[in-house]
């Protein structure tokens, strides 16, 4: 085989001196002195110098590493922006809570202006920031009640909040949205998800239900009040599915302290408002909602159950506290549970505030993908494991629902084997007692 004269590479074209009518070239680049290009050069008249076509095959570890670090960067940036703006909207509503900000849906579950506003805002920002991508959003709310006569005042309030939030953050390029714009943005969330393509998954305010709290107008509310109104933990939870797998997640937790909420740990700061984020293969991070420098977070590395604390939902209606207590006893956990609502649990666990999260919904309840998508990747990228009660990975590819065995458990690598044994034993005992 004849060798060609050295070639100056210009993308897929080259300028060189061909001394044969056809030749194959094995070229060495200056990237770490590694051979990366095999070329076939079409016929070139002998003795001429002119541009000629080169067909290249790349096998560079360097280039592969560069390209693999790029996926989902722009999506993550858009998700962080959307979730942060939604959190700002929610904080505005909390600071100036109005009686009309609580709107009861037709199914009687309480929904706030902030729920709808958060979904509209996230939908609008994602679609605007990623205009070249097909947009699919699986989300909790729809605009059905807002389109009724009884919902017009609520819709007007939502539109004002969304516009105020956008204007305060983006005054240089802001155009006010109409009520129709807001309704359309909310209804973007009607996607069914699935295993094909990309789908955003949103819980606009995860944690809207919770224990009863006394407000001046509490008599106007259903007995199952809302965490958002109480000022307890809630999260704007946004994830991205690609071919049925969660590839990035963002948790905006406006009421979560920047320092640990674990047992026997006192906060040294009064600052609240955390943003957790992760993308596949890149670790998990936390920063202030105000935009401070982010830090990498990691789950606790304890392997001793006696040193482990666990999270569970505040309200017993969300998860079986009795079953969780039985599991903790069998495992040897000594610390009392840390009860906290919403996917803020995932964020807190990702930074080591606790070691275990147990969720065992009551019979008949089907888990929704928006309740776990964002939180699960934050924890797994922080070094944790998220499975169902049988140890199976969560499957987000089947649509809006997660079909899991009995419940969901989250912990670190060291504790998972013993936790699974304790879960199995407790579930068997429960089944035998029925």
Integer Cα distance of 379 and 346 in angstroms: 6
Integer Cα distance of 77 and 73 in angstroms: 6
Among residues 368, 377, 331, which one has the least CA distance to residue 350? Answer: 377
Among residues 29, 4, 31, 28, which one has the least CA distance to residue 15? Answer: 4
Question: Which is it for the CA torsion 318, 323, 329, 331, positive or negative?
Answer: negative
Q: Judge whether 388 is annotated as a binding position.
A: no
Which tokens sit at 255?
């009421």
Output the 3-class SS for 71-133: CCHHHHHHHHHHHHHHHHHHHHHHHCCCHHHEEECCCCCEEEHHHHHHHHHHHHHHHHHCCCC
β-strand pairing of 272-279 with 245-257 = antiparallel
Q: Judge whether 133 is annotated as a binding position.
A: no
3-class DSSP state for residue 6? Answer: coil
DSSP 65: H
Number of H helices, E strands in the chain: 10, 21
Reading phi first (left if > 0) and then psi (alpha if -120 to 50, else beta), residue 301 is in: alpha
Q: Judge whether 205 is annotated as a binding position.
A: yes
Half-sphere exposure in the Cβ direction for 214 (13 Å, CA) = 0
Integer Cα distance of 12 and 261 in angstroms: 56
Among residues 368, 363, 365, 359, which one has the least CA distance to residue 340? Answer: 359
Integer Cα distance of 247 and 72 in angstroms: 8
Residue 22 contacts residue 42 (beta carbons within 8 Å) = yes
Strand partners, 27: 37
Integer Cα distance of 35 and 335 in angstroms: 58
Q: Judge whether 181 is annotated as a binding position.
A: no
Integer Cα distance of 321 and 260 in angstroms: 23
Active site residues: 115, 208
β-strand pairing of 310-312 with 284-288 = unpaired
Q: Judge whether 206 is annotated as a binding position.
A: yes
Residue 108 CB-density burial (10 A; 0-12 exposed, 13-18 middle, 19+ buried): exposed
Residue ranges of the annotated binding site for Mg(2+) are 140, 203, 205-206, 371
């Amino acid at each position: 085989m004849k060798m060609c004269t050295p070639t100056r590479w210009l993308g897929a074209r080259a300028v060189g001196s061909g001394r044969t009518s056809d030749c194959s070239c094995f070229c060495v680049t200056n990237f770490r002195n590694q051979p990366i290009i095999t070329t076939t050069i079409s016929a070139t008249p002998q003795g001429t110098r002119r541009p000629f076509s080169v067909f290249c095959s790349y096998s560079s570890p360097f280039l592969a590493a560069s390209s693999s670090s790029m996926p989902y960067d722009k999506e993550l940036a858009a998700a962080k922006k959307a979730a942060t703006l939604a959190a700002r909207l929610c904080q505005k509503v909390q600071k100036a809570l109005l009686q009309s900000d609580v709107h009861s849906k037709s199914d009687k579950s309480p929904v706030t202006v902030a729920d709808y506003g958060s979904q509209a805002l996230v939908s609008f920002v994602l679609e605007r920031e990623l205009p070249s991508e097909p947009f699919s959003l699986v989300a909790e709310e729809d605009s059905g009640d807002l389109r009724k006569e009884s919902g017009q005042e609520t819709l007007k309030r939502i539109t004002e909040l969304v516009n105020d939030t956008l204007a305060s953050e983006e005054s240089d390029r802001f155009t006010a949205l109409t009520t129709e714009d807001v309704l359309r943005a909310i209804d973007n969330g009607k996607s069914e998800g699935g295993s094909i393509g990309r789908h955003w998954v949103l819980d606009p305010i995860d944690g809207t239900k919770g224990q009863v709290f006394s407000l001046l107008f509490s008599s106007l509310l259903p007995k199952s009040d809302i965490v958002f109104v109480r000022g307890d933990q809630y999260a704007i939870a946004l994830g991205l599915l690609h071919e049925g797998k969660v590839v990035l997640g963002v948790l905006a937790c406006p009421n979560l302290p920047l320092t640990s909420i674990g047992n026997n740990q006192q906060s040294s700061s009064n600052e609240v408002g955390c943003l957790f984020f992760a993308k596949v293969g890149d670790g998990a991070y936390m920063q202030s909602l105000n935009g401070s420098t982010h830090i990498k977070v990691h789950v606790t590395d304890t392997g001793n159950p006696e040193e482990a604390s666990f999270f569970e939902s505040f309200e017993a209606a969300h998860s079986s506290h009795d079953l969780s207590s039985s599991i903790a006893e069998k495992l040897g956990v000594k610390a009392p549970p840390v009860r906290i609502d919403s996917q803020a649990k995932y964020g807190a666990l990702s930074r080591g505030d606790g070691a275990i999260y147990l969720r065992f919904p009551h019979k008949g309840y089907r888990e929704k993908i928006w309740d776990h998508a964002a939180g699960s990747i934050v924890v797994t990228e922080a070094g944790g494991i998220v499975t169902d009660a049988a140890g199976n990975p969560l499957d987000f590819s089947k649509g809006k629902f997660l079909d899991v065995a009995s419940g969901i458990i989250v912990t670190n690598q060291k504790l998972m084997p013993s936790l699974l044994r304790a879960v199995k034993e407790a579930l068997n005992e429960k089944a035998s007692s029925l």
